[in-house]
Amino acid sequence: MSAVVERAAYVHPAALVEGAIGAGTRVWAFAHVMRDAVVGRDCNICDHAFIESGARVGDGVTVKNGAMIWEGVTIGDGVFVGPGVAFTNDLTPRSARLAGLNRSHDGWLTPTMVQEGASIGGGAVIVAGVTIGAYALVAAGAVVTRDVPPHALVKGNPARRSGWVCRCGAKLHIASGNTICADCGATYIISDEGVVAWQRP
Amino acid sequence: MSAVVERAAYVHPAALVEGAIGAGTRVWAFAHVMRDAVVGRDCNICDHAFIESGARVGDGVTVKNGAMIWEGVTIGDGVFVGPGVAFTNDLTPRSARLAGLNRSHDGWLTPTMVQEGASIGGGAVIVAGVTIGAYALVAAGAVVTRDVPPHALVKGNPARRSGWVCRCGAKLHIASGNTICADCGATYIISDEGVVAWQRP
Amino acid sequence: MSAVVERAAYVHPAALVEGAIGAGTRVWAFAHVMRDAVVGRDCNICDHAFIESGARVGDGVTVKNGAMIWEGVTIGDGVFVGPGVAFTNDLTPRSARLAGLNRSHDGWLTPTMVQEGASIGGGAVIVAGVTIGAYALVAAGAVVTRDVPPHALVKGNPARRSGWVCRCGAKLHIASGNTICADCGATYIISDEGVVAWQRP
């Protein structure tokens, strides 16, 4: 429970914080931030969350209850990681004591990136090696097996794109072209490849 | 660990109970019942479960390990919430520090209802806004995205109805008409819309 | 926190170990091994994992964070249980206080077996009653509803077979016939029913 804690961070008495957490970050009961994990400022690390040595979490990130972030996973600023979200970091996991085969352990770690402002719904599973683009929305229960473009909404197992979402989180009601978010008024230009441009309301 | 605890409740020394729990309710290790959560009588709140301020849990409810029940979620009497079940309460989650857009936070909370006697299998994900009907059975690993009728069995991602179940939990072996539960002997009349009538054995 | 612990086991101060754990086994923060659970040697039981009374875990097993292993579940030697994996042990779960119907509780417990060297990816759900064969690989997020043959790779909800994997974990790039693992050099003979023979590199 030793910790590198800047001013104004909060650590619940039943949490374990051994890594570095930024100013204004709160860590709640039964959560565990391991040594050599890095968590930015103004984050909310909820009950039973786990952040492993080597994981990197940006500023203003919400890690909901029971979510697990491993070595090799990088979480950008302002990301929402929903309850029970399971990241992975090994595409061919075997228990360490297995076998005695020739398998090299070099290169077992497959990195994953979640870009700024993205949201990952509750119970989603993120297979190692993907990039989840900025402001994307992974639906609750989705199993993400390949890259998610910025602003994409993906759902299902395996997760497939079913639309685009605004920075504010609301669904945009077109597949391509120019549109205005009905919720916040931001404007977007969308092509077949994704969001080309946007403007604040 | 202060608590409003009636007679005969049990709180494990490693649990945190800050809300109200009814007589006969047991709360196990590393579980957390927050302040302003309400949990009824004779419930079993298992290890690592989390019940948030504002959540309401009826009498005789089983909340298995690691299940998470949020503000806005109401759990009826006699419900079974399986291990690792993730409820949600926000259809467009974004981390609070995001953006500075016009998005209003009014109305972000989308309520969910689980009616009397329903069961939710392990690892299921419940998208905010649905009602799970009385005595329904959500299969393990299902992702529930719309209402589940009473007595329905639903499974898959997204969850779809694949039959009907008895109050006792056993599958009823007809799609519609009159039937007797092979397990407990209760009788049912089922129409295309669901269970019309039933009688104890 | 009393425990039957052999030499060289390690129990984190925030773990609860009431059952028997073998030499060299490590149990990490907020994990709980219940009384009458049996865990073998050289296992790694990670944060927030739960092993219930009556569960049996072999030697050299990795149980990643938040995984839950119940009475009726048997885990063979060298198995990898990924983060957040939810086993189940009751096909028709109802909260204990329900009903007062005729339903007998005899036979509610449906056993599950995971054979030597198998791996179960993060967030997978295992429906009670299945056998997961030796060296099989259950993909992250899969929902396993029927038996998995030895060396099979299964994925999706419900999980279906999409290939074969080597003892070392790598995918074998044929559906049937003779092949050499590109990663470790082991050789296999595969028929329509699965792996018939193999040889170390």
Residue C123 has pLDDT above 80, yes or no: yes
Is residue A88 classed as helix, strand or coil in its secondary structure? coil
Q: How high is the pLDDT of residue B201?
A: 84
Closest residue of chain A to B83, computed from CA coordinates:
A84
Cross-chain Cβ contact A127/C140 below 8 Å:
yes
Q: How high is the pLDDT of residue B61?
A: 97
Half-sphere exposure of A38 (CA within 13 A, CB side): 10
**Rounded average pLDDT per 10-residue block, chain A, 201 residues:** 65 97 97 98 97 97 98 97 97 73 69 97 98 98 98 98 94 88 92 90 84
Residue C173 has pLDDT above 90, yes or no: no
Distance from CA of C61 to the nearest CA of B (A): 21
Q: Is the ipTM of this complex over 0.85?
A: yes
Whole-number Å distance between alpha carbons of B124 and A33:
27
Distance from CA of A113 to the nearest CA of C (A): 17
Minimum-distance CB partner of C101 among B42, B141, B186? B186
Tokens standing for residue B79: 């419900």
Q: How high is the pLDDT of residue B1?
A: 47
**Chain C residues within an 8 Å CB radius of B79:** 95
Q: How high is the pLDDT of residue A97?
A: 45
Cross-chain Cβ contact A102/C42 below 8 Å:
no
Interface of A with B in 122-151 (CB under 8 A): 122-123, 137, 139-141, 143
Cross-chain Cβ contact C96/B140 below 8 Å:
no
Closest residue of chain A to C185, computed from CA coordinates:
A102
Cross-chain Cβ contact B60/C102 below 8 Å:
no
Chains in contact with B, where contact means 3 or more Cβ–Cβ distances below 8 Å, are A, C
Whole-number Å distance between alpha carbons of C73 and B149:
32
Q: How high is the pLDDT of residue B57?
A: 98
Which residue, among B148, B150, B154, B137, has the nearest Cα to B197 in the 3D structure?
B150
CA angle A42, A64, B121 (to 5 degrees): 175
**Chain A residues within an 8 Å CB radius of C182:** none
Cross-chain Cβ contact B88/A122 below 8 Å:
yes
Whole-number Å distance between alpha carbons of C43 and C24:
7
Contact with chain B for residue A67, Cβ under 8 A = no
Distance from CA of C93 to the nearest CA of B (A): 6
Contact with chain C for residue B72, Cβ under 8 A = no
| Count of H-run helices and E-run strands, chain B | 0, 27
Spans of chain B below 50 pLDDT: 1, 6, 97, 102
C-beta of residue C199 within 8 angstroms of C-beta of residue C190: no
Cross-chain Cβ contact A86/C123 below 8 Å:
yes
Residue C100 has pLDDT above 70, yes or no: no
Cross-chain Cβ contact C84/A88 below 8 Å:
no
Minimum-distance CB partner of C66 among A66, A92, A96? A66
Closest residue of chain A to B29, computed from CA coordinates:
A30
Beta strands in B62-174 (DSSP E): 62-63, 68-69, 73-75, 80-81, 86-87, 112-114, 119-120, 125-126, 131-132, 137-138, 143-144, 152-155, 160-165, 171-172
Minimum-distance CB partner of C47 among A50, A94, A125? A50
Half-sphere exposure of A34 (CA within 13 A, CB side): 16
Enumerate the H helices of C111-198 as residue ranges.
none
**Chain C residues within an 8 Å CB radius of A50:** 47-48, 65-66
Distance from CA of B38 to the nearest CA of C (A): 18
CA distances to A148, C47, C87, C156 from A141, rounded to whole Å, are 15, 22, 17, 12
Cross-chain Cβ contact B200/C101 below 8 Å:
yes
Minimum-distance CB partner of C83 among A68, A94, A96? A68
**Chain A residues within an 8 Å CB radius of C59:** 97
Beta strands in B70-174 (DSSP E): 73-75, 80-81, 86-87, 112-114, 119-120, 125-126, 131-132, 137-138, 143-144, 152-155, 160-165, 171-172
Minimum-distance CB partner of C50 among B48, B80, B168? B48
Residue C69 has pLDDT above 80, yes or no: yes
CA angle A60, A64, A69 (to 5 degrees): 80
- State the best of B48, B52, B94 to mutate against chain A, taking most chain A CBs within 10 Å: B94
Chains in contact with A, where contact means 3 or more Cβ–Cβ distances below 8 Å, are B, C
Q: What's this model's pTM, rounded to 2 decimal places?
A: 0.94
Interface of A with C in 39-58 (CB under 8 A): 48, 50
Closest residue of chain B to A80, computed from CA coordinates:
B95
Residue C191 has pLDDT above 70, yes or no: yes
Residue C107 neighbours by CB under 8 Å, 6+ apart:
none
**Chain B residues within an 8 Å CB radius of C158:** 155-156
Give the residue, B110 or C101, on which the prediction is more confident.
B110
Cross-chain Cβ contact A30/C44 below 8 Å:
no
